[in-house]
Every structure is written in structure tokens, then in C-alpha cells.
Chain A
Amino acid sequence: MDPVSTVSLAVAGLAFAYPDGHQALFGVDFTVARGERVALLGPNGAGKTTLVLHLNGILTGGTGTVTVAGLEVGKRHMAEIRRRVGIVFQDPDDQLFMPTVREDVAFGPAAAGLRGAGLEERVDRALGLVGMAEFKDRPPHHLSFGQRRRVAVATVLAMEPEILVLDEPSSNLDPASRRELADILRSLDVTVLMVTHDLPYALELCPRSLILSDGVIAADGGTADLLADEALMRAHRLELPYGFDPRSVPAPPGRS
């Protein structure tokens, strides 16, 4: 196969300093192949959010390049890039800004120009994928937190993105909602980049992990291997929950 077409996301030499002089990224390089699920791990302040905001061109102006399925992130293709990179933000109340679930899910595709039956069908499909079809006409505020997070995922899926970027997808979820979201993410046929501190969740969902620390990719490898490397983990302030041993966990279930 042609190597270019199988790469969903390529980040090369990305460095960025905020206007106040704080440098958050010091040359980040990695690629994510189409269909992969990759976890981006790192302690607070490692630059994870800064990196995410570069993926769809919200932040620009540093050096280096971000390429999404062969298209370089830049002013010229911004609309297309934002359609291809679906970011699910941490707080669903920030993500769900329309009066009803349906309109929220329709927002992205409608902004891209889809109308009428095509739009309706897209909304139904996205809500169906996250199991929220019957909540279509409800206001987002009346849903539980787990349901809101799922709708937030649907709002992004409705844009049929090349890559789904999730910022702390498991935060504030109860164990059942957490498992439901994992099932949903596993069932999706889409490239996933998951930013998280939740190491067991990363192990469960992502065969591969990147560790971002002090603005560079400090490690890139199999999630189970990285989590088992105690020296590496300690060096980057990553800690497993009490009693959790990545070596004793059964192999994660495959894509269902």
C-alpha cells in the first residue's frame, strides 16, 4: 500500500511557545496510522492540550508541521482540516452548545453545508453509534454526565472525521459509563488519539501509547510495555492506580 494514504496523522518537529513566552512544545514527532488507537500519556503541564489544539489548527504559529491524511494543517484548508480532525473536549458542557441534542450533532455537518435528509441521516447514524438515538430531542443539560459525553462523541462522529481526538474521555465518568464509552470507542471504525492520565483506560483501549513529557515525545511503544517500565513511568510522573499491575491484566479485547 502507498504509505502516505495509510497515515492518518503525522506531526513533525512541532514546537510552540505561548505569547507570554512559555514554551510548551519542543519538537514533537510522531505518526498515527489509519485505524490505530493511540493513547497520549503525560503528566499535567506536559503540553498535551497544546498539542491537541495544534491538530486542528486552533493554535498555529510555531514551527513544524501537522499533516492529517496528507493535508497539511494551515490557513488554506482550515475548514477541511476541522472536518477531518474531530476533537472531543473534556467538559461536555463546552462541547454541547445547542439547545437540543439533535441540533448539536447536526452543527458540524450543517456548517460544512449538509442539509435536509442527508443531514438528518447523518445525525441519526452518529447518535446510533453512541447509543443515544432516543435522546435526539432532549436538551443536553437534562442528560447525565455519561450521556453528555457520549453525545459529545456523536457531535464529532457526525462530521465523519479521519481521526477522533479525545481529551480525557474517562474523566468524571462512573465505572459503568466508563465501560460503556470504552465499548463504543472500541466499536468505532476510526483512528483514535486519546489524551489521558487514566492509564488502565489507555491499556484497555489503545495498543500503542506515546508519552509526552516536557514538550517532547519521551517514549513511543506498546501500552503494556510502557506501563510495565517502572523507571520510565517514574521519570515522567506517571503513576498506576494502587494495586494495578499492567502485567497481570489479560490482553485487551480486540476490535469488536
Chain B
Amino acid sequence: MGAGHAHRLYRHGHSPVHALPPHTKIAAVLAFVVVVVSTPREAMVAFAGYAALLALVAYAARVPPGFLLRRLLIEVPFVAFAVLLPFVAQGERVDVLGLSLSVDGLWGAWNVLAKGTLGVAASVLLAATTELREVLLGLQRLRLPPLLVQIASFMVRYGDVVTDEMRRMRIARESRGFEARGVRHWGVLAKSAGALFIRSYERGERVHLAMVSRGYAGAMPVIDEVTASRAQWCRALALPSAALVVCLLGWTL
């Protein structure tokens, strides 16, 4: 995880979307998702409109479609759930290719699929154009409770360290002839997990000591003040505003 994780999601670039301050992008994505979710599921055209808007953003951010589509795979478990809906839902049924499907279920599946995909695509675009570090700064700027931001940033910083520790423990286990095969070995794995927890906990105490030694008194000092001009806010909010227009058209038409 950590920076390695950031590298996988983030796509380095200098597009206008990359250049926007992180908190404006977070706010834009959030607003966009709210608009998408509040669109009635029957307004098919509106969803096509949203997809077109995201495609425009991706184009502006120079994120290639292949990259975006591959990242969308994270959605697969939800898709599986959506595919089940037409089979299990109650109510009026239609026959499609010899299968009896619930109309309500079909609409439900479409609803989950369309809104989910749009939401994930917007988030993928955010992650592809904003470094993890910047996302944290943006959240801090948006007044997310500082404790949550601190927890998230420690996750980013120490993910690698803990993974490494886990790897070392695995190597130590295997060096002494242990191989996890079957239920009988779960006990050993559980003890390793417990040891890892205690090690991480103790590291947490040492880190806290180091922080206190450098003047930490409960709040992270602001090192990078992220600011956004009115123009930047306008550019970022163009996405949800356009989406809102599409949504209203969807409601009225």
C-alpha cells in the first residue's frame, strides 16, 4: 500500500484536471454522485448524459479509456449482486430469452448498475488525477474531522511498514518449515495476526512518542495550505452543475 498503492491508482500528468486543488475535486465528485443518485431510474437519457460528462472529464484529464475501464473492474462484486436482482425480485414478470424475469428486479438491477458505475467512474477519475497525499490535504481542507484525516494519513504512511512486517513474519514461519495447509494451521496464522497487531500497536506508541517529542499536542500542524481561486472552484463544479442540468431535464422530460 502506501505510495505503492498511490502509484497504481494515480496517473501522473499535467492536465487541467490534475491542476485543480484537491478539495474542489472532492467536492465536485461528491456533488456529482448526489445528483446521479437522486435521478429517477427511468430517466435513461440522463444516465447517458452523465456518462458523456465523465467521458469529457476523462478526455480533459488525458486518462485513456482502457485505464478507466480496467479500474472499473473493482465494481464487479456489485454487478454480480445486480445481476441476481431480476431473478429473485417479486412482482410482475416478463420473459426474456425464455427466462422469466421480474420487471421490478430489472429496473432495480439497472438502477444499481448505472448509478454504481457512474459513481465508481467518478471516483476512479478523482483517484487518477489526485495523489493520495493531496486527497488527504483536500479532506483536511473540507473540514473532515482531523482525527479521521490523521488515521487515513497514518494508514498511507504505515501500510507498507506493516505489510513488510507481515512478510517478514511469513518468511520466518516458512524458514522453520511451516506451511499453511488446511484448518489445522489456522491457529498459527491467527497467532501471527495477533502478534502483528501487538507489534503495530507498540509501533503506534513509539510513533506517538516521536510525535510528542516534536511538539505534537493533538492537532496536526498545517504544512500545506491548499487554496482554490473562484475560477478553480467554477471549473471543478462545472461537472456537478452540468449533471444537475441533465438531471432536471431527466425529471421534467
Listed residue (B133, B156, B215) with the most chain A CB atoms within 10 angstroms of its CB = B215
A244 at the interface (CB under 8 A from B): no
Q: List, sorted by A's number, 18 A–B pairs whose CB atoms are closer than 8 Å.
A: A53-B209, A56-B213, A79-B217, A82-B215, A89-B209, A91-B206, A94-B207, A94-B209, A97-B207, A99-B156, A99-B157, A103-B224, A106-B221, A107-B223, A111-B214, A139-B157, A141-B2, A141-B161
> Which chain B residue has the least Cβ–Cβ distance from A114?
B221
Q: Is the CB of A141 within 8 A of B210?
A: no
Q: What residues of A have a CB within 8 angstroms of the CB of B223 in the complex? A: 103, 106-107, 110, 119
* B2 with A155: CB separation less than 8 A: no
Shortest C-beta distance, A86 to chain B (Å), equals 8
Which residues B127-163 have CB closer than 8 A to chain A?
132-133, 136, 153-154, 156-158, 160-161
Decide yes or no whether B216 CB sits under 8 A from chain A: yes
The distance from the CB of A166 to the nearest CB of chain B, in whole angstroms, is 13
Known contacts A99-B156, A139-B3, A141-B3; decide if A94 and B214 are in contact (CB<8 Å). Answer: no
For the A-B complex, the count of residue pairs with Cβ-Cβ distances under 8 Å equals: 82
For B184-221 the 0/1 string (1 means CB < 8 A from A) is 00000000000000000001001101111111110001
Report B130 CB to chain A, min CB distance, Å. 14
* Residues of A near any B CB (own CB < 8 A): 53, 56, 58, 79, 82-83, 85, 87, 89, 91, 93-95, 97-100, 103, 106-108, 110-113, 115, 119, 139-142, 155-156, 159
Per the bound structure, the CA–CA distance linking A106 and B203 in Å amounts to 22
Residues of B within 8 A of A (CB): 2-3, 132-133, 136, 153-154, 156-158, 160-161, 203, 206-207, 209-217, 221-225
> What residues on B are CB-neighbors of A139 within 8 Å?
2-3, 157
Contact of B210 among A85, A95, A106, A111 (CB under 8 A): A95
B206 contacts which chain A residues (CB < 8 A)?
A: 89, 91, 94
A41 → B minimal CB distance (Å): 22
CB of A9 to closest CB in B, whole Å: 15
Report the Cα distance A93→B222, complex, angstroms: 22
Please indicate the chain A residues that have their CB under 8 angstroms from the CB of B160 in the complex: 141
CA distance A93 to B153 in the complex (A): 15
**Shortest Cβ-Cβ A-B pairs, 8 listed:** A110-B221, A111-B215, A108-B214, A94-B206, A139-B3, A111-B221, A141-B160, A106-B223
Q: Which residues of A sit under 8 angstroms from B156, Cβ to Cβ?
A: 99
Tell which of A91, A141, A142, A156 touches B214, judged by Cβ atoms closer than 8 Å. A156
